[in-house]
Structure 1
Amino acid sequence: MHRTLAIIGATALAATAACGAPSERAAEDGGSGGDATITVGATPLPHADVLSYIQENLAAEAGLNIEVTEFTDYNQPNAALVEGSLDANYFQTRPFLDDFLEGNPDADLAYLDDVHLEAFGLYSEKVDDLADLEDGAQIGVPGDAANMGRALKLLEDEGLITLAGDAGDNPSDADIEDNPQGLEIVPTEAAQLPRSLPDLDAAAVNGNYAIEADLSSSAEALAFEGTEDNPYANGLVVRSEDADDEAVATLNELLHSDEVKQYMEEQWDGVVIPVGGAQE
């Protein structure tokens, strides 16, 4: 049977929640030619691209059929997973999920394994060196708690600010203890930061949005976060009750396959870095 990757907009989410885990549904109705269908929410780049590669090259042999719902922001995929419109999502870091669960204590979601790290960078269209940032420069950072913390840590690593010692994994601008240049921190919706660059002196941008906006050709990269012991890898998230589902396990294994790692390295050299997983 011909298998295709279904890509639909977030506004076209199914009105009724999925019933049961993917493997249970496949056993009940025979699935797609016997394959288990798993619906995954993802941001377009690199996540949906990676899932598309798996669907086109690896899924059929593994007995899996992947349907992808694309989201262009970080606010909807967890809610859709909780309500049952998705079987899994692939877009977020552990700190981001922790922050979501703290604000939504009834949500029972599980982060399975790190899959890849997107290099989080500080970009500018106005200067080509950190030393050229003037006092009072406006620095855009993501407005959500987890990604703001990541951006502020990057600024701290580059010696631009100092954060409170007890700021934790998700510091906010209120945790800035020292700001010798009087930089103005400008919280902005993460997806809007590349478009906001002309109005800012610099912005800390998530790797997926930097790829989508092709910032490597339109802006200077002033700094990148370090990759060693970096807690901000992206991974597969499911409802806790489905964490041991066979289809979920199969998708997780494919995400960590040598073929997918090679695809990431060739497609996004140095920006999307494969990490983690049960195979390591």
Structure 2
Amino acid sequence: MIYIQTGTNNNVLTLAPHSESAFEWLLAYHPAVYTKMEDINQVKQRDAEFFIAGTLEGTKRNDEALKSRSLLVLDYDTAPDDFIRLIETKLPNSEWLAYPSISNGVKGTAPRWRLVINLDRDYIKDEHTALIEAVNGRLGIVTDASAEQWSQVMGLPTITAHNKLTDIIHHTGMPMKVDALLAYADQLTKEHPAPTKKPPSGYTLNFSKRRKKWMGKLLDSIVEGTSEGSRNVHLTKIAGSLFFSDAEPETVYNVLLFANDMLSEPLESDEVNKIFQSVLKREVAKY
């Protein structure tokens, strides 16, 4: 099933009526046209359409309500110039759809692409990260961190001053086998185990005697995390500090996701989104 969310300022989803598969529905989707976008964030917050393909319990989006996904959707915000050729080379026999994100050409200079992979079966939350790692391993590039959030919605194709209809690329092939991807992810984990969170022994510089700057304190707090009862306050402080440093909203959001992942008991993604939107609204009101 396909669920649609209008704007990022809510987490209410509407079931899109369709009889075809989720991937076929996406292929037939008519992109919204935005010829003038003076404020990309405003368009994303109020007008742009986002989607989730899978099974949802109820109409409100959160990690607990989303029971399964039927499509693997990945964002590449710093994609190489030959992104499409790369996918065609690395995933030659698989069916996928690639299109520029609404922020392409607006934020930064690197191309911003979204990749939707057709799958042979639905998958559950516990399989999500492994599937992303498997595709990243095949392509040799890393997806945007927001894709790892289980109930994260992804923007639908759009036509803008930078995105043309011909930029939406459908590659025909077979649905990727979920179980084969999971096996590949397991192989990658064995070959390249995750690094420990502690530095190697033998370092002798005593940083405790140095006067720590505010950015050092911020980075330490992100890695150290906080207790379960202080998670919202902790993330709010981090977001506020990052906005104070004049970081871009997208940078703040991605660091916030990382900080949440460092917690022993991370918050649900919709709660992190609320924190980000609250702090962002407060920052916008200053200008």
TM-score, normalisation: structure 2: 0.27
Higher relative contact order structure (alpha carbons within 8 Å, sequence separation ≥ 6): 1
TM-score by length of 1: 0.27
